[in-house]
Structure 1
Amino acid sequence: MTSGTSRFSRRLLLGGFVAFIAPSLGAEAQSARVLDGPRAAGLVGERFDGYAAIRGAAPADVRALVDHVNAERRALYAQRAAATNAPVDAVGRLYAAEIFRRLPAGSWIQAEDGRWVQK
Structure 2
Amino acid sequence: MTRFSFGLAVAAVALAAGAAWAQDDGAIAAAKSAGIVGEQADGYLGFAKAAPADVKAAVDAVNIKRRQIYTDIAGRQGATVQEVAAARGCDQLAKRVAAGQPYNAGAGWQVKGAGPIALPAVCG
TM-score, reference length from structure 1: 0.79
2:51, 2:44 → 1: CA distance? Answer: 17
User: Which stretches in structure 1 are left out of the alignment for 5+ residues?
Assistant: 1-9
Distance change >3 Å, CA 50–CA 16, structure 1 → 2 = closer
Q: 1:64 aligns with which of 57, 61, 76?
A: 57
Distance 1:17 1:60, change over 3 A: closer
1:44 is matched with which residue: 32, 37, 47? 37
Q: Which residues of structure 2 form unaligned runs of 5+?
A: 113-124
Q: CA deviation at 1:92?
A: 0.7
Distance 2:12 2:81 in 1: 15
Count of residue correspondences: 109
Percent of aligned pairs sharing the same letter: 36
Q: TM-score, normalised by structure 2?
A: 0.77
1:32 aligns with 2:17: no
Larger RCO (alpha carbons 8 Å, 6+ apart): 2
Structure with greater helix share of residues: 1
Q: Kindly provide the CA deviation profile for residues 49-98 of structure 1, in whole angstroms up to 9, marking residues without a partner as x.
A: 01111222211101111111111111111111111110111111111112
Q: Partners of 1:14 and 1:96 in 2: how far apart?
A: 12
Q: Is the 8 A contact 2:9 2:84 kept in 1?
A: no
Residue of structure 1 in register with 2:98 after alignment: 104
Pick the structure with greater CA Rg. Answer: 1
Q: In the superposition, relative to structure 1, how do residues 85 and 106 fare at CA in structure 2: closer, same or farther (>3 Å)?
A: same
